[in-house]
Structure 1
Amino acid sequence: MSQRAAWWNRNVAGMTFTSLLSDACYEMVLAVVPGFLPVIGVSAAALGWIEGLSDGIASVLKLVSGWWTDRLGHRKTMVTVGYFFTGTGLSLFALAFAWPMILAGRMVSWFGKGIRGSLRDAMLSESVPPEVRGKAFGIHRAGDTVGAVLGPLCGALLLHILPHQPPDLAFRRVFLLSLIPGLAAPLVFWIMVREQRRQPRPRVSMWLALRQQPAAFRRFLTAVGLFGAGDFSPTLLIMAAAVLLTPRFGGVRAAEFAALFYVARNIVYAAASYPIGALGDRVSKTALLSIGYGAAALTALGVALMFRAGSTSAWAMGALFVLSGIFASAQETMQGAITPDLTEAAARGTAYGTLGLVNGAGDLIASALLGTLWSVVSPAAGFGAAALLMGAGAVAIARVKH
């Protein structure tokens, strides 16, 4: 079997296409919702807590679902159900007139994300030989991010051509249209992906499974968690762009710019994911991850300086979005590829679930911290704190032996 046949197979293709559709749905909404929230009176602090709480709940579900499917010996059905909830939850934003419905839509969607994310990664890691996992995760993240390019493009285009009176109407229609890719994703996964069932482990408790994780993996998780405490939601970066550019371009135009910057970020993310994954099969994955974490810290620092200076430069903001695409590709690709190298195959679901829990806890802290500092102190203080935490994570991950 050729090396390409080893890493590009039916399962990898199916999971890549599914993620493309699911991310197109999610990012179509994510790109325009920061412009919608001020229209219905939702603050940056509320957004930060909604993002953080949703990510926190999803992270707990990742651990529980990973451990549970290790016990059962199969994962496909739960992943399909997860994609269904992810693809339908955000359409509830069309009914929102205040923050509670935004929270409800996020909860439904992130419930789905929580029960399918770690399981899909475990299935992906089991679908290819160890020596080409970097390529498989890289091409999967690239496909995932193609959806993250198409989604914001569709969102920005629809926002541009749909009627703007009343101001919330175009946004609500975009949320409803996101159901098209959202419902296609679970259908594609169910049809294309084939699962090799494993030996069930019905007697393994969650606590025992966590205690049995290798020491090297625990050190890795510590560094990931430190970085994660500053790794705020991309929604806050989009909101920062919209706020900074509004004095110069006006609210709707600034929201369009922010969505297009996010498209540029995701193009970089898609283009860099496979090369970074392939490079990770040849050199130290933790070194590449440390570089990615460093790029994240520089992104947050740049946004903090723009707020401090009162800059309305679209060029500077666009450059920061490009830099964020580089760190996102390194982060997602390398974290997924490193995990199976440090853990046992029989407990792979629990391992990815634990990684998801750590990332989610970090997201909760980061988004809530940044959103609160933004509203109580200043945006510059929030992004500055994020930069410090992500920089510390870059140093910590560089010290992990892989």
Structure 2
Amino acid sequence: MTGRTGKTSANRLGPMGFVLAFGVVSMLADVVYEGARSITGPFLATLGASAVMVGFITGFGEAVALVLRLGTGPLADRTRKYWPLTIAGYALTVIAVPLLALASSLWQASALVVMERFGKAVRTPARDTMLSHAGAEMGRGKAFAIHEALDQSGALLGPLLMGLMIAVSGYQLGFGVLAIPGALALVAVLLLRRAVPVPERFDAQAVTDHAVERGSRAARVPLPARFWWYSAFTAVSMFGFSTFGVISYHLEVQKVLPSALIPVTYAVSMGAAALAALASGALYDRIGLRGLLIALPLTAAVPFLSFTTAPALVWAGAVVWGAALGIHESTLRAAVADLVPAVRRGTGYGIFTAGYGMAWLAGSTIIGALYTASYAGLVIFTVGTQLVALIVFIPLLRASAPDARRV
């Protein structure tokens, strides 16, 4: 039920309750898909994939999850069907992952990996738009940080569950067990829709904007130049950010850690991501985007840690990689809501994540190739992209006085 239907069902939760409840939904879903992602690289390796193939498959999956939001973002803006899109996206994800237990070939597994990521593309612009409305009064950095922290708690539990199942019986049992939290996630999101049918009501500005801008008129509201610069900065930074699929492939083929411990390194990453999301969210609400530059040196440090054969450095790399990811997936999303008019917010998220996704696809494929060809080249590529991202960020520092806090 949306604001377009004319129905007036009241929201039974306040903004904070809504953010917390959505965090629980995302936590359950994250147990499913982050549990699977924690061992995607090693699992694909058992089916005959090379490092380049793992980099491409996982990068392509991330690109699908992000680039297709160019369509699902405007669709959310145009239809305001935030809940149907969100629910459909979660359904796709929690169905695809358990089916990996039945995959017996590389193409089957690859198709299911991409299907899971497609579910994320369907739901995320609509979900983030709803969360941005809840953050109108409580602070968007805070709202997205709380949601991300709960989200990452599931990402912590999922890999630990996968590690246990692999130790007990192997990959198939691990994927199959994930059907249970998947079913719980679907029940939880359906209950949340009943409790909060119209999240737009949390955001007075969104209600006003939606009353003024209807139908095709919304499409004529321009996206500001600072949004485009900001999107470019994020894309360049992600160009040098490895997917965990390539990292876990390295850990498996080099026998740096036992197979059952690889998902645990991902769990450590997700714990670091949750803490980084909370810290960066609070910092963003205080000083704006300047506080997010810490993601650049964190990303630059990854090849020095995660692609070594020293277990201690690999565990440290898991923390660093996770912290960088937590900043990207929480506070950088919050900033989009502050840069884009409410009536174009779904479109803004779609464009932002499309650039982000294409950069991650290209970068992860290059990193997979460099992993095989030249470790020194991998280091130079990663550090170089982060230096370029810093240069791209410079125009964002030239904000007008009223906007200075937000950059």
Task: Give 3-state SS (helix, strand or coil) of 2:263's partner.
Answer: helix
Matched AA of 1:183: A
Of 84, 96, 105, the residue aligned with 2:91 is 84
TM-superposed CA distance for 1:7, in Å, is: 5.2
Q: Which residue of 1 aligns with 2:216?
A: 203
Task: Give 3-state SS (helix, strand or coil) of 1:283's partner.
Answer: helix
Matched AA of 2:28: L
Task: Give 3-state SS (helix, strand or coil) of 2:189's partner.
Answer: helix
Q: Which residue of 1 aligns with 2:295?
A: 292
The normalised TM-score by structure 2 is 0.85
CA distance in 1, matches of 2:325, 2:292: 10
Return 5+ residue gaps in structure 2 as ranges: 1-12, 201-206, 398-406
- Alignment of structure 1 residues 43-122 onto 2, 5 Å: 43-122=50-129
Paired residues of 1:55 and 1:363 also in contact (CA < 8 A):
yes
CA distance in 2, matches of 1:195, 1:335: 26
Identical-residue share of aligned pairs (%):
26
Q: Which residue of 2 aligns with 1:133?
A: 140
Matched AA of 2:99: L
Q: Considering only aligned residues, what root-mean-square deviation do their CA atoms show, in Å?
A: 2.2
Deviations 1:150-192 (A, max 9, x none): 0011001111122xxxxxxx11121121121123223211211
Paired residues of 2:218 and 2:344 also in contact (CA < 8 A):
no
TM-superposed CA distance for 1:125, in Å, is: 0.4
CA distance in 2, matches of 1:114, 1:69: 12
Paired residues of 1:93 and 1:172 also in contact (CA < 8 A):
yes
TM-superposed CA distance for 1:120, in Å, is: 0.8
2:50 aligned with 1:38: no
Paired residues of 1:79 and 1:116 also in contact (CA < 8 A):
yes
TM-superposed CA distance for 1:282, in Å, is: 1.2
CA distance in 2, matches of 1:272, 1:59: 22
- Alignment of structure 1 residues 171-182 onto 2, 5 Å: 171-182=171-182
Paired residues of 1:239 and 1:258 also in contact (CA < 8 A):
no
The alpha-carbon distance between structure 1 residues 332 and 57, as it changes in their structure 2 partners (threshold 3 A), is closer
- Alignment of structure 1 residues 103-252 onto 2, 5 Å: 103-130=110-137, 132-162=139-169, 170-193=170-193, 194-196=196-198, 199=210, 201-203=214-216, 212-244=222-254, 246=255
2:332 aligned with 1:328: no
Task: Give 3-state SS (helix, strand or coil) of 1:8's partner.
Answer: helix
Paired residues of 1:6 and 1:128 also in contact (CA < 8 A):
no
CA distance in 2, matches of 1:46, 1:67: 32
Deviations 1:355-397 (A, max 9, x none): 111111111111211122334x135533542332134224433
Task: Give 3-state SS (helix, strand or coil) of 1:232's partner.
Answer: coil
Deviations 1:75-112 (A, max 9, x none): 11111000010111122322333321122102211111
Q: Which residue of 1 aligns with 2:315?
A: 318
Q: Which residue of 1 aligns with 2:353?
A: 356
Return 5+ residue gaps in structure 1 as ranges: 163-169, 307-311
Matched AA of 1:144: D
CA distance in 1, matches of 2:316, 2:336: 31
Deviations 1:282-329 (A, max 9, x none): 123x1222111221111134345x3xxxxx321111111111122122
The normalised TM-score by structure 1 is 0.86
Task: Give 3-state SS (helix, strand or coil) of 1:41's partner.
Answer: coil
2:271 aligned with 1:267: yes
Paired residues of 1:86 and 1:113 also in contact (CA < 8 A):
yes
Paired residues of 2:235 and 2:355 also in contact (CA < 8 A):
yes
Paired residues of 1:87 and 1:179 also in contact (CA < 8 A):
yes
CA distance in 1, matches of 2:88, 2:14: 28
Task: Give 3-state SS (helix, strand or coil) of 2:68's partner.
Answer: helix
Q: Which is worse superposed, 350-359 or 275-284? A: 275-284
CA distance in 2, matches of 1:87, 1:282: 37
Deviations 1:222-260 (A, max 9, x none): 11111121122122222223334x1x66xxx2x223222
Task: Give 3-state SS (helix, strand or coil) of 1:113's partner.
Answer: helix
